[in-house]
Protein backbone atom coordinates (compact mmCIF):
# COMPACT_ATOMS: atom_id res chain seq x y z
CA UNK A 1 0.00 0.00 0.00
CA UNK A 2 1.22 3.48 -0.84
CA UNK A 3 1.37 5.89 2.09
CA UNK A 4 -0.04 9.43 1.94
CA UNK A 5 2.47 12.10 0.98
CA UNK A 6 3.35 14.56 3.76
CA UNK A 7 5.42 17.74 3.65
CA UNK A 8 8.27 15.96 5.44
CA UNK A 9 8.21 13.07 2.96
CA UNK A 10 8.00 15.54 0.06
CA UNK A 11 11.12 17.41 1.17
CA UNK A 12 13.01 14.18 1.90
CA UNK A 13 12.11 12.77 -1.53
CA UNK A 14 12.96 16.07 -3.23
CA UNK A 15 16.52 15.85 -1.90
CA UNK A 16 16.79 12.21 -2.90
CA UNK A 17 15.39 12.83 -6.38
CA UNK A 18 17.73 15.80 -6.91
CA UNK A 19 20.74 13.55 -6.33
CA UNK A 20 19.37 10.94 -8.75
CA UNK A 21 18.50 13.49 -11.42
CA UNK A 22 21.93 15.11 -11.19
CA UNK A 23 23.49 11.86 -12.42
CA UNK A 24 20.88 11.20 -15.13
CA UNK A 25 21.72 11.93 -18.79
CA UNK A 26 18.72 12.62 -21.01
CA UNK A 27 18.67 12.67 -24.82
CA UNK A 28 15.50 14.82 -24.97
CA UNK A 29 17.29 17.59 -23.08
CA UNK A 30 20.24 17.84 -25.47
CA UNK A 31 20.49 21.36 -26.91
CA UNK A 32 17.39 22.57 -25.05
CA UNK A 33 17.79 26.09 -23.64
CA UNK A 34 14.15 27.04 -22.97
CA UNK A 35 13.75 27.29 -19.21
CA UNK A 36 10.03 26.54 -19.33
CA UNK A 37 10.56 23.31 -21.28
CA UNK A 38 13.30 22.22 -18.88
CA UNK A 39 11.11 23.01 -15.86
CA UNK A 40 8.18 21.05 -17.34
CA UNK A 41 10.46 18.06 -18.03
CA UNK A 42 11.78 18.06 -14.46
CA UNK A 43 8.36 18.54 -12.86
CA UNK A 44 6.87 15.63 -14.84
CA UNK A 45 9.72 13.33 -13.83
CA UNK A 46 9.46 14.29 -10.16
CA UNK A 47 5.68 13.82 -10.13
CA UNK A 48 6.04 10.41 -11.79
CA UNK A 49 8.66 9.46 -9.18
CA UNK A 50 6.29 10.46 -6.34
CA UNK A 51 3.27 8.78 -7.97
CA UNK A 52 5.02 5.40 -7.83
CA UNK A 53 5.55 5.75 -4.09
CA UNK A 54 2.80 7.87 -2.51
CA UNK A 55 -0.83 8.89 -2.60
CA UNK A 56 -1.32 12.62 -3.11
CA UNK A 57 -3.58 15.15 -4.80
CA UNK A 58 -2.05 16.49 -7.99
CA UNK A 59 -2.36 20.16 -8.76
CA UNK A 60 -4.51 21.55 -11.55
CA UNK A 61 -4.94 24.91 -13.22
CA UNK A 62 -7.87 25.62 -10.87
CA UNK A 63 -5.85 24.95 -7.69
CA UNK A 64 -2.89 26.88 -9.07
CA UNK A 65 -0.25 24.99 -7.08
CA UNK A 66 1.42 21.60 -7.58
CA UNK A 67 0.55 19.97 -4.24
CA UNK A 68 -2.73 21.60 -3.14
CA UNK A 69 -3.42 19.27 -0.20
CA UNK A 70 0.01 20.17 1.23
CA UNK A 71 -0.16 23.87 0.26
CA UNK A 72 3.14 23.56 -1.60
CA UNK A 73 4.07 24.82 -5.06
CA UNK A 74 7.09 23.57 -7.01
CA UNK A 75 9.49 25.90 -8.83
CA UNK A 76 12.34 24.85 -11.14
CA UNK A 77 14.83 27.57 -12.01
CA UNK A 78 18.25 28.05 -13.58
CA UNK A 79 21.09 29.07 -11.23
CA UNK A 80 22.23 31.85 -13.60
CA UNK A 81 18.95 33.72 -13.06
CA UNK A 82 17.07 32.04 -10.20
CA UNK A 83 13.56 33.43 -10.51
CA UNK A 84 10.02 32.54 -11.57
CA UNK A 85 6.57 34.09 -11.69
CA UNK A 86 3.38 33.40 -9.77
CA UNK A 87 -0.17 34.80 -9.93
CA UNK A 88 -0.86 38.12 -8.22
CA UNK A 89 -3.75 37.72 -5.78
CA UNK A 90 -3.29 40.51 -3.27
CA UNK A 91 -0.68 42.99 -2.06
CA UNK A 92 -0.83 41.08 1.24
CA UNK A 93 1.24 38.32 -0.42
CA UNK A 94 4.23 40.65 -0.52
CA UNK A 95 3.89 41.34 3.22
CA UNK A 96 2.48 38.18 4.79
CA UNK A 97 3.58 35.59 2.22
CA UNK A 98 2.14 33.89 -0.84
CA UNK A 99 -0.27 31.73 1.18
CA UNK A 100 1.57 28.48 0.44
CA UNK A 101 5.07 27.04 0.77
CA UNK A 102 7.62 26.73 -2.04
CA UNK A 103 9.76 23.76 -3.05
CA UNK A 104 12.51 25.22 -5.24
CA UNK A 105 14.92 23.25 -7.43
CA UNK A 106 17.87 25.28 -8.74
CA UNK A 107 19.74 23.65 -11.62
CA UNK A 108 22.70 24.08 -13.90
CA UNK A 109 22.35 22.41 -17.31
CA UNK A 110 25.18 20.87 -19.28
CA UNK A 111 25.25 19.11 -22.66
CA UNK A 112 27.53 16.22 -23.63
CA UNK A 113 28.24 16.43 -27.33
CA UNK A 114 29.79 12.95 -27.49
CA UNK A 115 26.64 11.23 -26.18
CA UNK A 116 24.14 13.85 -27.46
CA UNK A 117 22.57 14.11 -24.00
CA UNK A 118 21.77 16.87 -21.55
CA UNK A 119 22.03 16.75 -17.78
CA UNK A 120 20.48 18.84 -15.00
CA UNK A 121 22.80 19.23 -12.06
CA UNK A 122 20.51 20.20 -9.17
CA UNK A 123 22.65 22.59 -7.14
CA UNK A 124 20.06 23.57 -4.50
CA UNK A 125 16.85 21.97 -3.24
CA UNK A 126 15.13 24.48 -0.97
CA UNK A 127 11.90 24.43 1.00
CA UNK A 128 10.49 27.81 2.03
CA UNK A 129 7.71 27.78 4.63
CA UNK A 130 4.56 29.71 3.67
CA UNK A 131 5.17 32.27 6.44
CA UNK A 132 8.57 33.13 4.91
CA UNK A 133 7.47 33.60 1.29
CA UNK A 134 7.05 37.37 1.61
CA UNK A 135 9.37 40.07 0.24
CA UNK A 136 12.52 40.58 2.32
CA UNK A 137 12.97 44.35 1.95
CA UNK A 138 9.26 45.07 2.48
CA UNK A 139 8.94 42.95 5.62
CA UNK A 140 12.22 44.19 7.11
CA UNK A 141 11.23 47.82 6.43
CA UNK A 142 7.83 47.37 8.07
CA UNK A 143 9.31 45.63 11.11
CA UNK A 144 11.91 48.40 11.49
CA UNK A 145 9.19 51.09 11.45
CA UNK A 146 7.15 49.26 14.10
CA UNK A 147 10.22 48.62 16.29
CA UNK A 148 10.96 52.39 16.13
CA UNK A 149 7.44 53.19 17.43
CA UNK A 150 6.14 54.10 13.96
CA UNK A 151 2.44 54.77 13.48
CA UNK A 152 -0.14 54.30 10.72
CA UNK A 153 1.10 57.35 8.79
CA UNK A 154 4.68 56.03 8.78
CA UNK A 155 3.52 52.67 7.43
CA UNK A 156 1.32 54.28 4.75
CA UNK A 157 4.23 56.49 3.64
CA UNK A 158 6.45 53.39 3.43
CA UNK A 159 3.88 51.59 1.25
CA UNK A 160 3.67 54.62 -1.04
CA UNK A 161 7.48 54.86 -1.30
CA UNK A 162 7.63 51.21 -2.34
CA UNK A 163 4.77 51.71 -4.83
CA UNK A 164 2.69 48.91 -3.37
CA UNK A 165 -0.54 48.49 -5.38
CA UNK A 166 -3.00 49.74 -2.74
CA UNK A 167 -5.44 52.63 -2.63
CA UNK A 168 -5.76 54.99 0.37
CA UNK A 169 -8.44 52.92 2.13
CA UNK A 170 -6.55 49.65 1.66
CA UNK A 171 -3.32 51.28 2.85
CA UNK A 172 -4.98 52.50 6.06
CA UNK A 173 -6.57 49.11 6.76
CA UNK A 174 -3.27 47.37 6.11
CA UNK A 175 -1.34 49.81 8.32
CA UNK A 176 -3.75 49.16 11.21
CA UNK A 177 -3.36 45.41 10.76
CA UNK A 178 0.43 45.64 10.59
CA UNK A 179 0.61 47.45 13.94
CA UNK A 180 -1.33 44.58 15.53
CA UNK A 181 0.27 41.79 13.52
CA UNK A 182 3.79 42.56 12.25
CA UNK A 183 4.95 40.22 9.45
CA UNK A 184 7.67 37.60 9.70
CA UNK A 185 10.81 38.48 7.69
CA UNK A 186 10.38 37.14 4.14
CA UNK A 187 13.11 35.28 2.27
CA UNK A 188 12.15 36.22 -1.31
CA UNK A 189 12.54 39.26 -3.52
CA UNK A 190 9.15 40.00 -5.09
CA UNK A 191 8.83 42.66 -7.77
CA UNK A 192 5.57 44.55 -8.38
CA UNK A 193 3.73 43.36 -11.48
CA UNK A 194 0.41 41.90 -12.58
CA UNK A 195 2.26 38.63 -12.03
CA UNK A 196 4.58 38.56 -9.04
CA UNK A 197 8.19 37.99 -10.08
CA UNK A 198 9.89 35.84 -7.43
CA UNK A 199 13.69 35.96 -7.13
CA UNK A 200 15.61 33.41 -5.09
CA UNK A 201 19.23 34.59 -4.73
CA UNK A 202 18.72 35.48 -1.06
CA UNK A 203 17.22 32.12 -0.14
CA UNK A 204 19.98 30.29 -2.07
| 170 and 109 both lie in a single domain | no
| 129 and 141 both lie in a single domain | no
pTM for this model (two decimals): 0.89
Single out the residue of 128, 107, 127, 133 nearest to residue 188, CA to CA. 133
What does the pLDDT read at residue 62? 56
The total number of structural domains in the chain stands at 2
Sign of CA dihedral 198, 201, 202, 203: positive
What does the pLDDT read at residue 86? 85
| 61 and 158 both lie in a single domain | no
pLDDT block averages, 10 residues each, the chain of length 204: 94 97 92 91 95 89 81 94 86 94 96 94 96 96 97 96 91 96 95 79 86
What does the pLDDT read at residue 203? 86
R_g over Cα of the chain: 19
User: Parallel, antiparallel, or unpaired for β 195-199 and 189-191?
Assistant: antiparallel
| 155 and 125 both lie in a single domain | no
| 121 and 78 both lie in a single domain | yes
Domain hosting 166: range is 136-180
| 121 and 24 both lie in a single domain | yes
What does the pLDDT read at residue 61? 56
Amino acid sequence: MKSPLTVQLLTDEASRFSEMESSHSETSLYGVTDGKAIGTYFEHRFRAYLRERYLYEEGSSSSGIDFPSLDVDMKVTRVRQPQSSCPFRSVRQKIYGLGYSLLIFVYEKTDDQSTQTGRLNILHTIFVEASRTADYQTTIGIRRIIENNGNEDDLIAFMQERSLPVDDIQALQLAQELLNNPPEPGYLTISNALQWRLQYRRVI
